[in-house]
């Protein structure tokens, strides 16, 4: 056993001595510092590069020359797209649409119970006018509120009535009726304002009436009230129309 331990020590010792006697690594040489570049100046190009740049024209200059060849000295106009067709520009169409006064009077929701659940639909009534004597109303139905309002708005502009407006009010008293709804309208002095309910107020504002006294009697249904108001405004007559229907002059009527 002693002989085996001695042999192991003899074998292990030379290896350990070799590890201790290994030469250390030489340190790296430091890099030479770069010369600082002056601020605001780019590195100078080589002579070959500067000569090539001077000989070849720039791509922008070539493209500009191609554009101006067809038009002579005039520069080419930018592409405008499809804005001014036979139907006019988009801005004109938007300005025409904005000329009308639009107001949603009533939105009604209706739900129907079916096998799978409930189906909801919406109805809307919209008043539109130019506030200069023209006014109309529309009634639309759809499964979505926006679609119902859109349909009602389009229908309100299809059939518009011309109302007789004088100095911001109506020429005489009138009573409008539709089924069980009745609307009484009377002229008012300047500064009175529109004294009416929500449905009749929308009609008066759309046609340009600023001073009026109104009273709704009977049914409170918004659709019937609006139709009663239109029935009364439709039957308004000026003094000239009354004189013409009677076969007399305006002075004879007024006395």
- Give pLDDT tens digits for 68-124: 555 555 555 555 555 555 555 555 555 555 678 999 999 999 999 999 899 999 999
HSE-CB at 209 with a 13 A cutoff on CA atoms is 30
Looking at residues 140-166, what average pLDDT do you find?
A: 93
CA-nearest of 130, 51, 58, 123 to 96 is: 130
Domain boundaries, the chain: 99-162, 174-246
**Alpha-carbon gap, residue 182 to 197, rounded angstroms:** 13
**Alpha-carbon gap, residue 86 to 89, rounded angstroms:** 9
CA-nearest of 149, 109, 95, 98 to 126 is: 149
**Alpha-carbon gap, residue 71 to 49, rounded angstroms:** 35
User: Could you tell me where the beta strands, DSSP code E, fall in 10-167?
Assistant: 101-114, 117-129, 134-142, 161-162
**Alpha-carbon gap, residue 167 to 188, rounded angstroms:** 10
Query: What is the per-residue pLDDT for 38?
Result: 63
Alpha-carbon distance values, 185 to 56, 103, 197, 205, 220 (Å): 85, 21, 12, 14, 16
- Give pLDDT tens digits for 169-221: 999 999 999 999 999 999 999 999 999 999 999 999 999 999 999 999 999 99
The least confident of 28-42, 56-70, 241-255 is 56-70
The answer to whether the CB of 138 falls within 8 A of the CB of 230 is: no
Dihedral pair phi/psi, residue 78, rounded to 5°:
-70, 155
User: What CATH code would you report for 174-246?
Assistant: 3.30.230.10
The least confident of 39-48, 144-153, 226-235 is 39-48
- Does 168 score more than 60 pLDDT? yes
Fold of 99-162: Double Stranded RNA Binding Domain (3.30.160)
- Does 132 score more than 70 pLDDT? yes
Query: What is the per-residue pLDDT for 16?
Result: 47
- Give pLDDT tens digits for 225-253: 999 999 999 999 888 888 888 888 888 87
């Amino acid at each position: 056993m002693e002989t085996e331990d001695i042999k192991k020590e003899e074998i292990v010792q030379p290896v350990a001595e070799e590890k201790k006697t290994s030469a250390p690594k030489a340190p790296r040489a430091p890099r030479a510092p770069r010369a600082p570049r002056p601020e605001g100046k780019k590195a100078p190009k080589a002579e070959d590069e500067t000569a090539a740049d001077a000989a070849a024209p720039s791509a922008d200059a070539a493209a500009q020359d191609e554009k101006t060849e067809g038009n002579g000295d005039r520069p080419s106009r930018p592409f405008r797209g499809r804005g001014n067709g036979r139907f006019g520009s988009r801005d004109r169409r938007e300005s025409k649409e904005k000329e009308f006064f639009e107001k949603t009077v009533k939105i009604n929701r209706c739900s129907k119970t079916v096998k799978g659940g409930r189906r909801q639909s919406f109805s809307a009534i919209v008043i539109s006018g130019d506030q200069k004597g023209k006014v109309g109303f529309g009634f639309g139905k759809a499964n979505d509120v926006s679609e119902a309002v859109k349909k009602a708005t389009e229908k309100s502009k299809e059939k518009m009535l011309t109302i007789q407006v004088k100095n911001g009010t109506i020429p005489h008293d009138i009573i409008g009726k539709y089924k069980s709804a009745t609307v009484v309208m009377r002229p008012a002095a300047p500064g009175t304002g529109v004294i009416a309910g929500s449905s009749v107020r929308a009609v008066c504002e759309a046609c340009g009436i600023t001073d009026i006294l109104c009273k709704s009697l009977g049914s409170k249904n918004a659709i019937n009230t609006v139709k009663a108001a239109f029935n009364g405004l439709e039957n308004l007559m000026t003094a000239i129309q009354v004189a013409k229907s009677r076969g007399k002059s305006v002075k004879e009527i007024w006395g």
